[in-house]
Structure 1
Amino acid sequence: MIGPLAWAWLQFALLALLIGVGGYRLTREADAIAEALGLSRTWVGVALVATVTSLPELATGITAVTVAQAPNVAVGNALGACVLNLAFLAVVDLLVRGNPLYRQASQSHILAGAFGAMMFGLVGVAILLGHAAQRAGGPPAWLQAVMPGIGASTPLLLALYVVAVRAVFLHERDTQSGGAARVADRARARVDDRARARVAGHVLRFAIAALVVLLAGMRLPFVATEIAQTMGWSRSFVGTVFVSAVTTLPEMAVTVSAVRIGALDMAIGNLLGSNLFNVAILAVDDLFHPGASLLAEVSVAHATTAGFAVAMTGLAVVGLYYRPQGRLLRAVGWVSIGLVALYALNVAAVALYAG
């Protein structure tokens, strides 16, 4: 007879397998769509693939602030997934062959990273100001009248996300020149003349794979929470470390699959684009959160995670701009080692100080 905890772990393994298979198919179809339509792999990773793989975080966050009434799980899940995505760049660096990751990747990712750092900083400031306002008796009356029930950061985060995705698209379009632009034009012509049915097939298979990843990813957090509660961990720690690791499995599966088929820019774009979407999820969670501002009610420990996310994003941007050559033991670069070290420090800080 299988016990409840063993059954939960068995469900976890089966759902993870579904996400792995679906993520691989998702990446192959996204790459085919990008090639057929002449789209940049960077933008496809940031906007299309990242949005799909982050849907489990969206579903988990809305469920946490409404049904479960666990805002710390929602915020910890979104921010924890972001720092885990950044740490996962070290795995990508380990998997790529030849030059280090940061010498092969497009510098267009710097733009997505810069927007991500801005959004993380805004979240950290919103958490700290929200707690300061509570100690002072609440936010100003005029602010409550203008935006009742939501934080001032919510519309800013949503606007920044839209601007970021559009900026990456325009940058990729403007950087296409000469041969690249002609290849894109020929690809669009092929779509117009002969390949509509083929593109439609890729889109249909992409949608099916996305549905598999979404459904499995939505179920995983409940299984993970059941396991974590048995361990007696705090909700902030569970959200930041455990649930985020579970809901980030789609990003991991898709990223590894993209590296294996040689779509490195799609892999990096997926991770950085997922971070943009995950922060925007916090704004959506705030819209569903009953009562006052979501970020004003959660543990201050989440501001620490936001700060580490800023530092890790900055380090990744340095690597993308500086393009270091050396690798430790011919395996990973120093930027990747720094990302893993910062992630470990964040986990330790949340474990020690989260309530």
Structure 2
Amino acid sequence: MENEAIMSLLLLPWLKFALCAVLIGLAGPVLARSGDTIARITGLSRSWVGLVLLATATSLPELFTGVSAAAAAAAPNIAVGDALGSCIFNLVLLVLLDVLSPDEPIYRRMEQGHILTAAFDVILIGFVGALLLIGRGDLDLRIFHISIYTPFLIILYFVAMRASFFYQRRNGAGSALGAGTSEPGLGAAIARYAAAAAVVGAAGSWLPFVGLEIAEVMGWRTSFVGTIFIAAATSLPELVVTVAALRLGAVDMAVGNLLGSNLFDILVIAIDDIAFTDGSLLASASSAHAGSAFAAVIMSGIFIVALLYRPGARFLGKVGWVSLFLLAIYLLSSYAIFLLGH
């Protein structure tokens, strides 16, 4: 009986985690389809759909999870780990895209306009990584409980969105999607979008508490749980939408979704800092998360090089060497956060 009680104690948090992951995984595609329908009806460009509309929709789990972790669970490591872990997870999804692109390396099928978004990813994620290391002690400057650096993250995000918009308009990237003959009305699309967002929000708000339970029963560090498990669960919409877009031949929409999600995840950190009332969020989180931030910066840099160089060689004819480097950095950073996190 005692062993059964112990097993139940260990399994219950994992069952809760699985339920959250399933709900997010089911709601994610609905969010994406509804967002795409809204884009078709309103005439937004395909690249803008990936960068802003889909990225925002698929990043809702990170938003709800981060705010819940910061405001209700008082778990800064879960909030920061989820956001930065999602950035790394989104970039490692490029490996999956490459594997699912058997004809030629995925990096030869992308627009070079993604370099601009990836460069902003480097700036924002690198800024967060630096703050995790030096934004403490005498440099932990705050207005009330909000870090003085948080407004800069918000401003940089909107600068990135504005620059991407004008770049696409100036270069004519991504023609407008034509309205489909069987598209539902705009009102119905918005209603489905809102319903799916509610499901994502409910599951995302529950995740940080489940993460803390897992960390407690397994004896794991909360920074590791946030970076690996919760980040993977909240990135399920990105995974589903990215694969679906690739199968439709919309490579640039898929890549725009991943890179735009990374930008939005940094905005989420700024919002989490506002919701976290016990001080500065980044100063309260483990500095080990800087390793995740710099891993994401390195991976973004590798992606930029791949877009400029467009390598053609593939390991065993299945996956490019660039993808193998991305995967190696993801695994090394995950192991480092497991060893060094709190």
Report the TM range for the smaller structure's normalisation.
0.7 to 0.9
User: CA separation in 1, counterparts of 2:218 and 2:239?
Assistant: 25
Q: Which amino acid aligns with 2:81?
A: G
User: CA separation in 2, counterparts of 1:310 and 1:97?
Assistant: 27
Q: Which amino acid aligns with 1:31?
A: D
Report the equivalent of 1:227: 214
- The reply to whether residue 78 of structure 1 matches residue 83 of structure 2 is yes
What are the equivalent positions in structure 2 for 1:316-335 lying under 5 Å apart? 316-335=303-322
What are the equivalent positions in structure 2 for 1:55-134 lying under 5 Å apart? 55-131=60-136, 134=137
* Candidates 262, 269, 277, aligned match of 2:249: 262
Report the equivalent of 1:44: 49
Secondary structure at 1:304's aligned position in 2? helix
Report the equivalent of 1:273: 260
Alpha-carbon offset, residue 294 of structure 1: 1.9
Secondary structure at 1:3's aligned position in 2? helix
Report the equivalent of 2:31: 26
Equivalent pair of 1:328/1:334 in contact (CA under 8 Å): yes
Structure 1 spans left out of the alignment, 5+ residues: none
* Candidates 329, 334, 337, aligned match of 1:350: 337
Q: Which amino acid aligns with 1:166?
A: R
When residues 286 and 173 of structure 1 are mapped into structure 2, their CA distance, relative to the original with a 3 A threshold, is same
Report the equivalent of 1:150: 146
Q: Which amino acid aligns with 2:234?
A: T
Report the equivalent of 1:164: 160
Please, which moves more after superposition, 214-223 or 309-318? 214-223
Report the equivalent of 2:232: 245
Secondary structure at 1:118's aligned position in 2? helix
- The number of equivalent residue pairs is 337
When residues 202 and 99 of structure 1 are mapped into structure 2, their CA distance, relative to the original with a 3 A threshold, is farther
Alpha-carbon offset, residue 267 of structure 1: 1.4
Alpha-carbon offset, residue 11 of structure 1: 4.2
Alpha-carbon offset, residue 125 of structure 1: 1.6
Q: Which amino acid aligns with 1:323?
A: R
Secondary structure at 2:279's aligned position in 1? coil
Report the equivalent of 1:173: 169
Alpha-carbon offset, residue 16 of structure 1: 3.3
Alpha-carbon offset, residue 226 of structure 1: 2.7
* Candidates 285, 288, 292, aligned match of 1:301: 288
Normalized against structure 1, the TM-score is what? 0.85
